[in-house]
A and B are shown apart, each in its own frame.
Chain A
Amino acid sequence: MTAERPGPREDGHRSYYGRPILKQPVWTWEIPWYFFVGGTAGASAPLALAAGLAGNRRLERTARLAALAGAAASPALLISDLGRPERFYNMLRVFKPTSPMNLGTWILSGFGAATGAAAASDLLGLFPRLGRAAGAAAALLGPPLATYTAVLIADTSVPVWHEARRELPLLFAASSAASAGALGTVLNPPEAAGPARRLLVGGAALELAVSEAMKRRLGALAEPYGREEAGRYERLATGLTAAGAALAALAGRRRLAAALGGALVLGGAAAKRWAVFKAGLQSARDPKYTVSHQRERLERRPPEERRTETFARGGHGR
């Protein structure tokens, strides 16, 4: 049998017939959409609270509805992605802080209950004090809802996610701020959407900056962001976010331009989550990312700490 012999490849790393060392995540389309929807809802809740406190009722109401819609859609997306959806409640039978997914489920559950109560009180005009408390609770849980998903993916062995663990939470926070601001900009006339527009522009600018910093620090591990599907989503995200933010910043006082800018930024934020998601799949799929990164890390390590391989009793790796 003339098998391709494993050995040094062009990039200088060895592998077992080029097969992946890690398994690709089995998560499907629901997960990147959830990152986007949950993040937008999470940032919309504090926006609603702040708008209410500032006396901007219109913006408060649309932001609260955005939070409610996201809180309603998120569990549906997450449950639909499970291999055994009918067992979703097993997540809520334990409180397990070592699992970001478990803590996230609790955050999402609390957020959903608080947002639902706040919106119901607002729409029905009942129990206004309780409604305000629920709105405050939602505003408190919203930002963690927007950022825990970054912890979730960074807490894996996928190099492009794990090694970006410092930047990913801020990236998701910025992207969530941009999309929540964008939604507020789209749903409100410009004269009521000032804060939403500023949130859109600030969030988008921070997202672009953090994304750049993340890729710079990842170095060679960032390669998936420039290749295949992740590369296409990344370019789309950058283009849409930059164009939308520029439009909203320059012509945000005109209704049509503001709505268009908001829509572009929403598209950019969704594409960004898809880029991060697909980059993870690509990073897990090619063993060169796993091997090259670990080999470099080994070389930087003092010999006495190289103990995964031992060449002699009580001895150290080469």
Chain B
Amino acid sequence: MTETRENIIPGSGWSDAYNIEGVDRPETRPVIPLGQKSYGSEEEPRMGFFTDTTVCIGCKACEVACKEWNGVPDTIGQLTGESYDNTSALGANTWRHVAFIEQRKPVKVQEAGLEGLEEPSGGDEDGFRWLMSSDVCKHCTEAPCLDVCPTGAIFRTEFGTVVVQEDVCNGCGYCIPACPFGVLDRRQGDGRVWKCTLCYDRLKGHMEPACAQACPTDSIQFGPLDELREKANGRLEMVHEAGVTDARLYGADEGGYGMGAFFLLLDDPEVYGLPPDPEVVTRKTKSLWGAAAAAAGALALGVAAAFAGGAR
């Protein structure tokens, strides 16, 4: 398999991922999510996405490839008038969503680096810039959806990704408000919850996810998370040196909100529809039970007290 992998997807993130000094599976241990059991010998490196929005051209090939590969129902709706975005948000039938943001802001012109090509003029005070970003499930290190799922339908794979098992999900809907990114939703007419699987089936078959393979500019990069983070930090430095000081990584630091899919953004996260300071709400579950136990005790005491004034 190893040699054919190179042939199938030459130059893809996948070959980088697994051909480290000829070792098929890197020795580096993945970040094992808190409270999760390891897969033992079946453990794979934690895989993820780095979405570099600076090179996204808004082609939506990722949206199309995702739907094609995963058999996600179409969502042809109305024109929203929101720039080129008629997908609007992630959901049960949208596992990749390309956001389009139009801003009156001077943009630094990129040099194409091609001889004889006339550089376009631009960068004037009344400039225009168009931000595009392909959003996806973050495959959180501590995923609230996974923790609150009452059936165990949502599980963590050997790749450290978060997947909903459609043969177990009973559509209780609890994961939907648990997710701080609004990723999960119930599919109309189906009743179950659906979201990005990070192409679990393709990963099992040693292929990269459909969206990453379809991306023509490598805005969507796939690979072991620690390598992607390293790459992303290098890219951030490069972009900063080019004078784009607004650029920042979102979700790349495991010490913040740990994300298995992170982004290089050019503006505040909320401009892209991302929460500026997501929280692992389920870290507080224990103290919540404490409050509930205290309240239950108060209720029992209250009932007892009601009889203090007599039995009738």
Contacts and interface: CB of A to CB of B under 8 A. Distances in A.
Contact of A151 (B89, B292, B310): B292
B299 to A, nearest CB: 4
Interface residues of B, number: 99
A143 B299 contact: yes
Contacts of B268: 14
A123 interface: no
A61 B125 CA distance: 79
Majority DSSP secondary structure for residues of A touching B: helix
Contacts of A11: none
A50 B302 CA distance: 11
Interface in A191-222: 191-196, 198-199, 202-203, 206
B54 interface: no
Contacts, number: 322
A147 B293 CA distance: 8
Contacts of B275: 21, 290-291, 294
Given A294-B275, A307-B253, A101 B172 contact: yes
Residue of B151, B237, B271, B305 with most chain A CB atoms under a 10 A cut-off? B151
A162 B285 CA distance: 10
Contacts of B304: 46, 50
A176 interface: yes
Nearest to A25: B177
B288 A151 contact: yes
Interface residues of A, number: 106
Interface string B135-152: 000000000100111111
Contact of A47 (B85, B265, B303): B303
Contacts of A294: 275-279
B295 A169 contact: yes
B150 A102 contact: yes
Given A5-B102, A156-B178, A310-B249, A43 B237 contact: no
A314 B157 CA distance: 29
Given A83-B190, A165-B288, A308-B256, A291 B270 contact: yes
Residue of B174, B295, B303 with most chain A CB atoms under a 10 A cut-off? B303
A27 B193 CA distance: 13
Nearest to A44: B303
B30 interface: no
Interface of B: 35, 80-85, 88-89, 91, 99, 101-104, 144, 147-153, 168-174, 176-186, 190-193, 233, 236-237, 240, 247-253, 255-257, 265, 268-279, 281-282, 284-285, 287-289, 291-300, 302-307, 309-312
